Structure 1
Amino acid sequence: MALVSLRDLRKVLHPHYLVNILLSLSFILMRKVHPFCTYLFDSCILNHKESEIMFFAAVIIVFRTRKQGAVNFLPYVGTACMFAKLAGVLLWFFADPLYGVIFAVLCLLHLLLLPEPCYKGPENMTYFSGNDLDESLKREKGTTWLIELYAAWNPTCIEFAPTFSEISANYALDNLKFGKVELSRNPEIAAKFKINTSPLSKQMPTLILFKNGQEQMRRPLVSNNGKLVTFNFNYANVVSTFELTTLHDHCKKALKEKSKTKKQQSKSSQQHLKDE
C-alpha cells in the first residue's frame, strides 16, 4: 500500500499529476456522467468488454506496482496512471477509433508539455570514488556521514536521488555530512560493503550511517537467513529511521561547544600574552 505524507499531497497538486489522474479516469467519467455519456456513447452503462478491460487493468496495476516496489505515494500514482492510460487507449478506441486517436494524442501532449516535476533545489553532497570514501572516514573522525551507495541505472536509485538531495540540503552541517558512491564505477566498494549490484538486486540504494569512521546502521538490512528486509525510501522514513532530526541537533550542539571552547582558549592565550 502506498504511504501518503503531507509533502506528497502537496506535490500531487502539481498540474502534471492532476492532468495525469484526469486522463486516467477520463473514460469512466465520460462513460458514467451525464450529459457526456449520452452524447459520446449510446448509453451510460458499461458493456461487457469495457468491464473486462477495466477489471484486467486494475489487476495489472495492483500486481505491477507491488512487483516494482512502488510503495511511496507519488511513484504509486505514476505507475497506476500509466497502466490506466494504456487501458484507456483501448477503451476509447473500442468506443470509436477517432476517440482512441484523440486520447493517445492527449497523453503524448501531457508527457511533452507537462513532464513530471523533479527536485531542483540545493544539495549539500560529496560524491566519492575509489579510496576517497575510506580516506574521508579516517580523516574526519569527528564527522558523522550518511552515505548512499547506488547505481545510476537503477529505477529506485533514480527515484530516490532528489529526495536524498533535499535531505542533505536540510540536515547537513560541518560535522554531519552526506555522500554518494556510484557502485557501477566502484565495484570494490560494493564488494567491501557486501552489496549485490546485479540487475535483479534489491539492495540498491543502500544507506549507511558512519560515526567516527565506523558503520553504525544501514538500510535495507539483510536478515540472518539471507533475506532482504525491505525499506521504504521516502523522505519521512529516512529522517525517522536514521533519527536525523535528533542527530542534527546533537551535531549542532557539538559545533557550538567546540566553537565556545576555541573562543575560551583564544581568550586564555591572549590573556597569557598580556601577563607576559
Structure 2
Amino acid sequence: RAVFPHGRILSVILTCVGGDWAAFAALLAAYAAISLLVPPPRCYGYVEGGRVTPLNPRSFAAEVRKATTDSQPGRKTASCLTDDVVLFHVPWSDDCRYFYPILADLSKEHLKEERRFWSVDLNVYPEVGAELRIDTSTSSKQLPTVVLFHGGKEVRRLPPFDEKGKVIKT
C-alpha cells in the first residue's frame, strides 16, 4: 500500500475537523476500518476473464523467443502461430501500474484469438530489458514498453525508436 495517499487523506480529515481531536480520532478509526476491510484494487495476473502471464528470462526465451519450428520438420510451434504481446514494466513506475489494467482488458478482448499476453518485471529481470534495449532508469521515456512478437521476432514496439535510435514518446 502507498503511504503517501493515506497521509493526504488523514491531513484532509484533520483539517476538516478543525483541530477537534475527538472527532479526528473517530474519523481516523473509521478510515482505518475501511482501509482494512476494503483493500485497494490489484491488477496482476488473472483479471475478469483476461490473462496476462508473468515471465522470467527462461520462460521468455522458451515461450516468446522460441524458434519458429520444433523438432518435427514442417510443424509449426505455438509461438509461430500466435502473436505474443509482452509488457515490460517496473513496479515503481506509475505509468506502468496504470497501463497494466489496460493490457489485462486487451487480453480479455482477444482471448479467443491467436494472441498471448505476457509481462516481464524489469526490476527483477533487468537482463531482459538490456537485451531489448529498454532503459529502466527513473528518467526513462520507455516505460512501460509493449512489444509485439510474431514467430519469436519483434514486429512492433511502443514507444518506438526514430531513425537515430532515440525513443519517440507516445
TM-score normalised by the shorter chain: which range applies?
A: 0.5 to 0.7
- Residues 69-108 of structure 1: pairs in structure 2 closer than 5 A: 89=12, 98=18
Alpha-carbon separation, structure 2, partners of 1:126 and 1:116:
21
Q: Does 1:204 align with 2:154?
A: no
Q: CA RMSD in A?
A: 3.3
- Aligned position for 1:70: none
1:227 Cα deviation from its structure 2 partner: 4.3
CA contact (8 A) 1:130 1:186 kept: yes
SS at match of 1:185: coil
**Matches of 1:126 and 1:115, distance apart in 2:** 23
> How has the CA–CA distance of structure 1 residues 161 and 106 changed in structure 2, closer, same or farther, with 3 Å as cutoff?
farther
Q: How many residues matched?
A: 142
- Which runs of 5 or more residues in structure 1 are unaligned? 1-81, 232-276
Higher relative contact order (CA 8 A, sep 6+): 2
Bigger strand fraction: 2
Letter matched to residue 51 of structure 2: N
Identical residues among aligned pairs (%) = 25
Q: Distance in 1 between matches of 2:31 and 2:154?
A: 48
Tell me which amino acid in the other structure corresponds to 1:109.
Y
Partner in structure 2 of residue 263 of structure 1: none
| Equivalent residue runs for 1:1-276 within 5 Å | 89=12, 98=18, 109=31, 112=35, 117=41, 121-137=48-64, 138=66, 139=77, 140-173=79-112, 175-225=114-164, 227-231=166-170
Distance 1:117 1:181, change over 3 A: closer
One-letter amino acid of the counterpart of residue 123, structure 1: G
Q: Is the 8 A contact 1:118 1:162 kept in 2?
A: no
What is the letter of the counterpart of residue 167 of structure 1? Answer: L
* TM-score (ref. length: structure 2): 0.65
Once residues 17 and 147 of structure 2 are traced to their aligned partners in structure 1, the CA distance between those partners, rounded to angstroms, is 53
Residue segments in structure 2 that go unaligned for 5+ positions in a row: 67-76
- Alpha carbons 2:89, 2:120 under 8 Å: kept: yes
Structure (1/2) with the larger helix percentage = 1
Contact 1:221 1:228 in 2 (8 A): yes
**Distance 1:118-1:132 versus aligned 2 partners, 3 A rule:** closer
**Runs of 4+ with deviation above 4 angstroms:** 99-103, 105-108, 113-120
Check 1:186–1:97 CA distance in 2 against 1; reply closer, same or farther (3 A cut).
closer
TM-score under structure 1 length normalisation: 0.42
